[in-house]
Structures are given as structure tokens and as C-alpha cells.
């Protein structure tokens, strides 16, 4: 008869006294115990056989061209990861000429972010041949109307999903020039609530004079029709009236990271790096 050591769960003094209890006695008290011991005690030769079977199955899959590391399996894995991982979003805001696009270009060169511009996505969709949404966008622009925010957000959402499916490591996004107003923000919250995490707002702040001077200089080579002295004051006023309240709202939530954008590109980017290194 096999004896096993058993310790009473009582006082410390009692716990130090070992009591030998015959296994047969335990089996008598608990009739199912022998069966339970059999279930949890799997012989090593059976475990080895199971491992060999798995390895053999993997080898068979490989010979059949269905190796787990095949392109299809990797694609399935990417899709599963992209469904589990929420996009991590940084809104990039600032007045015209604040340097948002320039700094976004430097960020993606040095950090694992994808740059999305709402305006660029709308223009690309409008130019895409056979796109019903593109025709709708063109009609709104032709009539001088604002494109519905739902279209803009749908394009942003689609761009993020496609990026994450291609590379599961690409889940951080810089969204440039959005949200511009309260309608944009409400639309984002309505469509993307629970589907993306807004980490913070990167706000490039500079004076109106600096914005105007930069835009006028840019207009000499950019060909942008709105980089002129007549339209710039209106653009700045629109930013102050529509976009600045959005920044102030996020400020109350502790989500705004402000950078003095009146300095040189490299000086501004030094501050940007400090923020991104801290935020992770």
C-alpha cells in the first residue's frame, strides 16, 4: 500500500506535523479519485506520440504546399490581427502654413506611423475611375458644397483598415487636417466610437503673420489657388472659428500636445520627437 504525505490546513503548529494517509483510504472516501488520477496522468509515450503526430501533420501540410507559413496563412493572420487591434490615431491640427504636412513627412520617416490626409483621400477618390462615391464628391465640389462628413470618415476608415491588413504593425495613424469643425468631430464620434482610439492631438501653433508669410512663399511654387493674400485671412478666420474650438475641447480632456511651429523645420521636429518618444 502506498502512503502519501498530507498536511492539515489548520494551525501553523498542526501544519508542521506530517500525517501519513494511505492512498486506499482516500480512494475509499472519494470513489472517483482513481479515475481522476488516470485522466490527469498521461503516459509520456502517449505525449510523445501526440507530438510526433502533430509534427507529421505539419510535414504533410508542407509537402502539400499548405505550410503554416504560406502566404495565405500569413494573410489570414494579418486579417485576424487587424480585426483585434484598434487603430491608434493622432489628429494633426494647425492653421494654414503651420507646417502640418512637412512635419507629418518627417514623422513617418522616423516613426512607424501612416500619414492620412482627408483632403488627399477625397481628391484620390474623386479621380478614381468608376467610383460612385467619387462622382458624388465631384458633384458636391462642383456645386460649392461641403462633402458630407460621413464620406470623409468612411474613406479614412477604409484607408486604416487596408493599411492594417497589409501590415499588422501599421496601426498608428496621423490624420492631417481633421477634424476641422464640430460637424467633423460629431461624425467621427458617431462612426468611429469604439473602433479607433484617439491618442492625442498634435497642435502646431504659430502666429497669423507667420502663417500668411509661409503660405505666400509656398504659393510661388505650389500652384495652390488658395495660397494668396486675398483668401488667406478668410482661411485663418475659418480656422480660428471652426477648428480652434475643437482643439480647446480636446485640451479640456488633456489630449493636446502643443508645438511652437513658428521656428525652423528642424527645431519644430525636435519638439515633435520629444512628444512621440514620450507618448510611445
Report pLDDT digits (tens) over 177-231. Answer: 899 999 999 999 999 999 999 999 999 999 999 999 999 988 887 777 778 888 8
Residue 181, classed as helix, strand or coil, is coil
Binding-site residue ranges for a ribonucleoside 5'-phosphate = 123, 145-147, 177-180, 224, 235
Give the annotated binding-site residues for CMP.
184
Better-scored residue on pLDDT, 184 or 280: 184
- Residue 71: count other Cβ atoms within 10 Å of its Cβ: 8
Whether this model's pTM surpasses 0.85:
no
- Parallel/antiparallel/unpaired status of strands 256-260 and 197-205: parallel
Of 3 and 271, the one with more pLDDT: 271
Q: Known binding site for ATP: residues?
A: 97-102, 218, 263
Q: Is the pLDDT of residue 17 over 80?
A: no
Q: Residue 45 pLDDT > 70, yes or no?
A: no
Q: How far is CA 16 from CA 4, 11, 13, 181, in A?
A: 15, 9, 5, 72
Per-residue pLDDT at 28 exceeds 80: no
Per-residue model confidence as pLDDT tens digits over 64-115: 555 545 555 555 555 444 445 899 999 999 999 999 999 999 999 999 999 9
Residue 266 pLDDT > 70, yes or no?
yes
Binding site as annotated, residues: 97-102, 123, 145-147, 177-180, 184, 218, 224, 235, 263
Amino acid at each position: 500500500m502506498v502512503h502519501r504525505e498530507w498536511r492539515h490546513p489548520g494551525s501553523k503548529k498542526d501544519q508542521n506535523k506530517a500525517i501519513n494517509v494511505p492512498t486506499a483510504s482516500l480512494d475509499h472516501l472519494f470513489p472517483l479519485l482513481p479515475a481522476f488520477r488516470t485522466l490527469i496522468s498521461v503516459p509520456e509515450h502517449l505525449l510523445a506520440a501526440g507530438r510526433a503526430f502533430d509534427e507529421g501533420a505539419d510535414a504533410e501540410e508542407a509537402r502539400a504546399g499548405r505550410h503554416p507559413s504560406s502566404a495565405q496563412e500569413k494573410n489570414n493572420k494579418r486579417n485576424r490581427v487587424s480585426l483585434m487591434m484598434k487603430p491608434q490615431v493622432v489628429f494633426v491640427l494647425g492653421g494654414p502654413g503651420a507646417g502640418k504636412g512637412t512635419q507629418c513627412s518627417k514623422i513617418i520617416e522616423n516613426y512607424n506611423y501612416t500619414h492620412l490626409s482627408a483632403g488627399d483621400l477625397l481628391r484620390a477618390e474623386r479621380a478614381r475611375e468608376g467610383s460612385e462615391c467619387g462622382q458624388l464628391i465631384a458633384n458636391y465640389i462642383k456645386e460649392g458644397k461641403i462633402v458630407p462628413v460621413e464620406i470623409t470618415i468612411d474613406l479614412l476608415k477604409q484607408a486604416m483598415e487596408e493599411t492594417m491588413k497589409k501590415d499588422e504593425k501599421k496601426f498608428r495613424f496621423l490624420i492631417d487636417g481633421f477634424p476641422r469643425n464640430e460637424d467633423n468631430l460629431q461624425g467621427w464620434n458617431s462612426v468611429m466610437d469604439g473602433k479607433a482610439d484617439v491618442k492625442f492631438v498634435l497642435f502646431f501653433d504659430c502666429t497669423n503673420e507667420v502663417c500668411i508669410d509661409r503660405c505666400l512663399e509656398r504659393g510661388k511654387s505650389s500652384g495652390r489657388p488658395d495660397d494668396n493674400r486675398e483668401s488667406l485671412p478668410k482661411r485663418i478666420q475659418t480656422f480660428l472659428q471652426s477648428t480652434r474650438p475643437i482643439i480647446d475641447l480636446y485640451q479640456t480632456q488633456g489630449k493636446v500636445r502643443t508645438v511652437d511651429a513658428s521656428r525652423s523645420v528642424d527645431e519644430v521636429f525636435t519638439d515633435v520627437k520629444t512628444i512621440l518618444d514620450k507618448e510611445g
